[in-house]
Structure 1
Amino acid sequence: MKNKLLIIGASGHGKVVADIALKMNKWKDIAFVDDDESIKSSMGIDVIGNSDDVFNHLDEYEIFVGIGNNVTRQKVHEMLETVGASIPVLIHPNAVVGEQVEIGFGTVVMAGVVINCCTSIGRGCIINTGSTVDHDNKIEDFVHISPGVHLAGTVNVGIGSWLGIGSVVSNNVTISNGCKIGAGAVVVRDTNESGIFVGIPAKKID
């Protein structure tokens, strides 16, 4: 493990990522890169360049993508993998992670999260503040589980899906790749296709 961490993105999501990294106390130095040249520092942490400068720091830093948008995060993460970057997992000290839980590189687990046993979480995911993921879930790559989301047991969430704040997924439900689940929605049956799902129970609107 390298003892320096470089976070791509110094805005909202990147700041929360940095806060978790600071609390983990694993790196002697943390820095940002950001394409907004007007941002010189964030949270008192220096911005040392833009995203193109990442390639100059691969030998010295672990690299983490602090970008909230699933599509952009996936693109940048896969580029980092291609060039052989060292990509860590970030887990807030106040998260609870059960036994036999697998978490992929580039995933962040935020404060107050509970992930119960025998769950698999893919690469580049966001498991956001206060969300719960029960037993035997399978969360595919580049998923965003928003704050306050609750997943019951044996839920599958497909690649690149986004579950909006406060949404709930019943047990034994599969959410397809590329779905957007609206805030507060309750998903009680498989989605079967990508799209936007809202309401109680959740129904496809687009």
Structure 2
Amino acid sequence: MKNKLLIIGASGHGKVVADIAKKMNEWKSISFLDDNKRIDVSMGLQIIGTSDDVLKYIDDFDIFVGVGNNSIREKLQESLEAIGATIPKLIHPSAIIGNNVEIKPGTVVMPGAVVNCSTLIGKGCIINSGATIDHDNLIEDYVHISPGAHLAGTVKIGNGTWLGIGSIVSNNVSITKNCKIGAGAVVINDIEKGGTYMGVPAKIFKD
């Protein structure tokens, strides 16, 4: 771990990431890279270049991808890993993390989130504000669990899946990769086919 943090992405999600990093108080300085050349400051922090400049900073900074889109975040993080970047995980001080929980690099756990015991959260995930993940869950890489989403025990969420705000996943349910679960949807059965699911109970809307 280095004493400086560089966040790729200075818009909405990147701002929240920066706010969490500030509250963690583990880095002496925090800066952004962003491809919008019309701005040079965000959240009071300097934007010191674009994403193409990342190699200039790889030796001196921890680097975190602050992009909300799952597929873009995956592409950026995988490229950082390929060049040997040091990628931290960010956990807001108000989050509750149980025993025997593993959280992999590039994941952010936001304010008020709860991750209960014996859960594995993959790399590059977003566990958003007030989301709850109960015991023995497996959250694969680059998943976004939106604010107020609730996962019961022994749930599996596949790579790149997005759970909308206020969605609910019942216990012992598995959701395959690259799904979108709509806001307020309730998933009570396994989802084995990628696509968009909505409603109570959740049903496929399109694939």
TM (norm. structure 2) is 0.99
For 1:34, the aligned partner's letter is: D
How many residues get paired?
A: 206
Q: Alignment partner of 2:54: what SS?
A: helix
Deviations 1:174-203 (A, max 9, x none): 000000000000000001110000000000
Residue in structure 2 matched with residue 32 of structure 1 by the alignment: 32
Aligned counterparts, 1:118-197, within 5 A: 118-197=118-197
Structure 1: runs of 5+ lacking an equivalent: none
Task: Find the counterpart in structure 2 of residue 201 from structure 1.
Answer: 201
Q: Determine the C-alpha separation between the residues in 2 that align with 1:196 and 1:190.
A: 14
State the 1:205 CA deviation. 1.1
Is 2:118 the counterpart of 1:97? no
Deviations 1:37-80 (A, max 9, x none): 01110010000000011110000000000000000000000000
CA distance in 2, matches of 1:172, 1:194: 18
Name the structure 2 match of 1:65: 65
Q: Is the partner of 1:205 in helix, strand or coil?
A: strand
Percent identity over the alignment is 65
Q: Give secondary structure in 1 for the equivalent of 2:180.
A: strand
Helix, strand or coil: the match of 2:21?
Answer: helix
Offset, 1:101: 0.2
1:37-116 equivalences under 5 Å are: 37-116=37-116
What amino acid is the match of 1:87?
Answer: I
For residue 92 of structure 1, report the CA deviation from its aligned partner: 0.1
- Aligned CA-pair RMSD: 0.3
Aligned residue number for residue 8 of structure 1: 8
- Structure 2 residue runs of 5 or longer lacking an equivalent are none
Q: Deviations over 1:63-108 (max 9, x none)?
A: 0000000000000000000000000000000000000000010000
